[in-house]
């Protein structure tokens, strides 16, 4: 055995070569090997003790000697050297020592491999290159005297399990190190638990942070989407607004250009409108003045003639005849119509004047009641003809323009569309300031067909402002979705239009066209002014205040010019013209009272009382009524006329100037109490008048 080992030791250090057949046989033997139970330890391992190598591997010791295989290159390029017999013996000794240690009473095997990994060892016999390294592996408990079989088995295991031996050695050392620390299992478990707990808390915190970040990211994404949608909409709106604004710019530029071209025509139409209104007003004033002047001339002539006859003791019949003769040429003499008054063409103008005087005198004589001032039919006809021509010209002035520019409704529609769709640009361009000037020409055109004093042909009264087309269209201008913004400047469009377009017409009507002695005109003008003053208050507008002052001034002047003659009853009886004139002046005074009370809500009440009570009733009407006490029926009729024109509060608490009417009523009641010839109708009228005055 020693000689064989020595031979083996000697031969393993030499480099040998093998042929292909030997290597193939060796591989076949390696394939038939299995793990030996002796290397697992325990009863199975002890059962193998005392057996030879031939019993273990099933071979014969008489097998011819085979040298060990040559050195091989490993996967990492390191050359592995096969151990010799001495090395194998040392490995066996270490294995036996490890086995003895593992079977000790206080040994606890912490490795499931049964000590297999501890039986793997790597040593180097000397420092140097790859050839100085060797690997050894011991598996199983090989006992017996057959060293050759044992060596051969070890060599076979080396080639098969060398990588696994390396891993087992490392695991064995780690196990021995853990066993040597003596760390408590419970303490290690608690530390592991705490570590896991901290890891769980950290994981939960990280998860919560991740969730918050995810939520924040989602919110930011939503906001980004909203911002993107917002800016896309803004871009689209800006594009639409630009296109729309360009169209509106072109439209309103063309509209303004068209209206500028029509301005001269419109100004001429308005001038013509003012002219024929002034002509009619002047014709009416002249007719009234001529009527009352001629009536006064005839009445004064007749009264003087009657007084002259009666003063020299003449009879009433003679006085009547003298009165008729006196009034025949009184007007001609007073106006100087007997001579000739030639014009440039040699025509006598006085002939026409004399014919008019005769016609008026004849009309007065044929009337049993107070004369009614009638306008010249020719003048009225010319007025309506001129007015109709002006309306036709106004309606055709814009016919050459497109429908988009020729009507107020079309221009208003474009302006309202601008305001409804692009309110910001509407305000930034100060459209609210420009709209009144844009709409004014259309309003002025329509107002040519309206008059504050005179009705249209076939109409009884002038049309109201709120019945006109422009008024209705501009009344709701600027209203968005049925709501009116108090801060919207367009809310003042209608007041501005009334102030700058309608108010000047009303002012000129008060100053130039209005006849205060005509109650019909006064009522029409008062109605117009009330509509105007709804939007333009006199207290806040200087022009409106001037209109009120002009009203007071003209009413006061007419009251001062009013003169009701107080002829004696005998003169009135002998001169019917004088009686008719006095009655006409009385009716004219009452008409002036009616005109004044038409402006009761416009003119200051104190000023109105001074004009009516002091200037007309007290100074003119009461003296005339007092002279009629000789005729209770005539006096009652005059008092009834006074009651009809005075307001009810003046009858209940009459001003000082009207208080004498109560004395007349008392005297009249006493007169009918002693006069049996008074008719019952007159008595009833007197009782009603007394009840009205609370007498």
Q: Is 272 helix (H, G, I), strand (E, B) or coil?
A: helix
Q: What's the N-to-C CA distance of the chain in angstroms?
A: 178
Residues 289 and 685: their CA atoms lie apart, in Å, by 34
Residues 177 and 651: their CA atoms lie apart, in Å, by 135
**330-346 exposure pattern, b = at least 16 Cβ within 10 A, e = fewer:** bbbebbebeeeeeeeee
Helix axes 85-102, 2-12, angle to 10 degrees: 110
What separation in angstroms does the CA of 63 have from each of 6, 59, 152? 18, 8, 11
- Here the tokens at position 33 are 């090997």
pTM: 0.66
Nearest partner of 91 among 47, 154, 30, judged by Cα: 154
**277-290 exposure pattern, b = at least 16 Cβ within 10 A, e = fewer:** beebbebbbebbeb
Q: Tens digits of per-residue pLDDT, 398-446?
A: 988 888 899 999 999 999 988 888 888 888 888 889 999 999 999 999 9
- What pLDDT was estimated at residue 543? 94
Residues whose CB is less than 8 angstroms from the CB of residue 181 and which lie 6 or more positions away in sequence, other chains included: none
- What pLDDT was estimated at residue 533? 94
Mark the ranges of the chain whose per-residue pLDDT is less than 70: 1-20, 22-23, 26-82, 101-148, 151, 154-183, 366-374, 482
What angle (nearest 5°) sits at the alpha carbon of residue 344, between those of residues 342 and 350? Answer: 25
Q: Which residues pair with 123 in a beta bridge?
A: 134
- What pLDDT was estimated at residue 224? 94
């Amino acid at each position: 055995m020693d000689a064989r080992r020595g031979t083996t030791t000697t031969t393993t250090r030499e480099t040998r070569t093998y042929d292909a057949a030997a290597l193939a046989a060796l591989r076949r033997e390696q394939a038939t090997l299995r793990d030996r139970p002796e290397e697992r330890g325990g009863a199975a391992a002890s059962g193998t003790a005392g057996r030879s190598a031939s019993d273990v591997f099933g071979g014969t010791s008489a097998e011819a000697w085979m040298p060990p295989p040559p050195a091989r290159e490993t996967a990492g390029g390191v050359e592995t050297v096969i151990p010799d017999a001495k090395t194998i013996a040392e490995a066996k000794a270490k294995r036996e020592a490890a086995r003895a240690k593992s079977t000790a009473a206080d040994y606890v095997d912490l490795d499931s491999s049964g000590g297999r990994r501890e039986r793997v060892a790597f040593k180097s016999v000397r420092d140097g290159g790859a050839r100085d390294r060797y690997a050894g592996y011991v598996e199983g408990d090989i006992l017996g005297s057959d060293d050759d079989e044992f060596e051969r088995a070890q060599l076979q295991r080396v080639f098969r399990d060398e990588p696994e031996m390396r891993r087992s050695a490392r695991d064995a050392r780690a196990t021995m190190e853990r066993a040597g620390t003596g760390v408590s299992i419970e303490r290690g478990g608690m530390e592991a638990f705490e570590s896991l707990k901290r890891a769980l808390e950290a994981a939960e915190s990280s998860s919560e942070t991740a969730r918050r970040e995810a939520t924040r990211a989602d919110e930011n994404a939503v906001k980004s989407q909203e911002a993107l949608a917002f800016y896309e909409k803004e871009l689209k709106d800006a594009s639409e607004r630009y296109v729309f604004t360009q169209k509106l710019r072109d439209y309103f530029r063309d509209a303004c250009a068209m209206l500028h071209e029509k301005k001269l025509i419109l100004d001429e139409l308005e001038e013509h409108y003012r002219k024929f209104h002034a002509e009619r007003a002047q014709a009416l004033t002249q007719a009234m003045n001529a009527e009352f002047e001629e009536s006064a001339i005839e009445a004064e002539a007749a009264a003087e003639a009657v007084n002259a006859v009666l003063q020299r003791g003449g009879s009433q019949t003679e006085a009547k005849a003298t009165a008729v003769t006196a009034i025949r040429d009184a007007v001609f003499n007073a106006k100087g119509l007997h001579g000739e008054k030639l014009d440039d063409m040699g025509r006598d103008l006085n002939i026409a004047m004399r014919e008019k005087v005769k016609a008026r005198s004849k009309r007065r004589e044929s009337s049993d009641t107070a004369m009614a001032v009638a306008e010249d039919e020719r003048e009225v006809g010319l007025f309506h003809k001129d007015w109709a021509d002006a309306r036709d010209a106004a309606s055709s002035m814009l016919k050459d323009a497109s429908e988009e520019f020729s009507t107020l409704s079309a221009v208003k529609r474009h302006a309202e569309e601008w305001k409804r769709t692009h309110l910001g640009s509407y305000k930034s361009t100060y459209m609210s300031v420009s709209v009144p000037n844009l709409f004014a020409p259309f309003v002025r055109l329509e107002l040519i067909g309206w008059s504050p004093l005179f009705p249209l042909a076939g109409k009884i009264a002038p049309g109201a402002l709120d019945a006109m087309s422009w008024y209705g269209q501009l009344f709701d201008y600027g209203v968005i979705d049925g709501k009116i913004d108090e801060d919207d400047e367009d809310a003042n469009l209608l007041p501005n239009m009334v102030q700058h377009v309608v108010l000047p017409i009303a002012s000129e009507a008060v100053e130039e066209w209005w006849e205060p002695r005509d109650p019909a005109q006064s009522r029409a003008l008062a109605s117009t002014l009330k509509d105007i003053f709804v939007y333009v208050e006199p207290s806040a507008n200087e022009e409106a205040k001037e209109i009120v002052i002009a009203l007071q001034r003209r009413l006061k002047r007419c009251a001062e010019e009013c003169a009701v003659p107080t002829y004696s009853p005998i003169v009135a009886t002998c001169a019917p013209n004088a009686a008719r004139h006095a009655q006409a002046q009385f009716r004219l005074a009452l008409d002036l009272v009616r005109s004044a009370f038409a402006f009761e809500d416009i003119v200051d009440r104190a000023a109105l009382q001074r004009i009516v009570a002091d200037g007309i009733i007290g100074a003119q009407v009461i003296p005339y009524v007092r002279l009629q006490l000789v005729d209770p029926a005539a006096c009652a009729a005059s008092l009834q006329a006074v009651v009809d024109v005075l307001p009810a509060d003046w009858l209940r608490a009459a001003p000082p100037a009207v208080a004498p009417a109560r004395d007349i009523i008392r005297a009249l009641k006493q007169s009918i109490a002693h006069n049996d010839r008074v008719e019952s109708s007159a008595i009833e009228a007197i009782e009603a008048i007394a009840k009205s005055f609370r007498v």
